[in-house]
Amino acid sequence: MIQSTVNLFKLIRILRERGNRPLFRRSRKQVLDILFCRNDINRQNPVSALWYWFGVLKGLDMLVWRLETFGFLFQPGTTEEQRLHLNRYLES
């Protein structure tokens, strides 16, 4: 339980530093569906979703990798110019 709590704070710090805010704003409904496990891939009731995320937070490295893969997190060391280039299609 302590490890999951520590990883939650680490994840919040990582999201503040490297989070792709334009993508979060653009796909707010989809992000909320993922967080509350309301999407078609992983549909669960709220209590089960809480336990699901508790288990996922035990492996923070995998969660960060998934967020980087889907573009919700930028890679470490990404410059502002590279970030703008990656988000160029969000404006349309």
Tokens at 28, concatenated: 């707010």
Residue 44 lies in a domain: yes
Residue 92 lies in a domain: no
Q: What is the pLDDT of residues 71-83, one digit of tens each?
A: 889 999 889 999 8
Q: Is the pLDDT confidence value at 52 over 80?
A: yes
Pairwise CA distance, residues 48 & 43, whole Å: 9
Q: Is pTM, for the whole model, over 0.75?
A: yes
Residue 45 lies in a domain: yes
Residue 91 lies in a domain: no
The whole domain housing 42 covers: 2-86
Cα four-point dihedral sign 28, 67, 89, 16: positive
Instruction: Note the Cα 91 to chain centre separation in Å.
Output: 21
Beta strands in 1-92 (DSSP E): none
Q: Is the pLDDT confidence value at 31 over 70?
A: yes
- Report the number of distinct structural domains present in the chain: 1
The pLDDT assigned to 16 comes to 94
Residue 52 lies in a domain: yes
State the average pLDDT for the chain.
87
Residue 19 lies in a domain: yes
Pairwise CA distance, residues 21 & 31, whole Å: 12
The pLDDT assigned to 58 comes to 86
The pLDDT assigned to 53 comes to 86
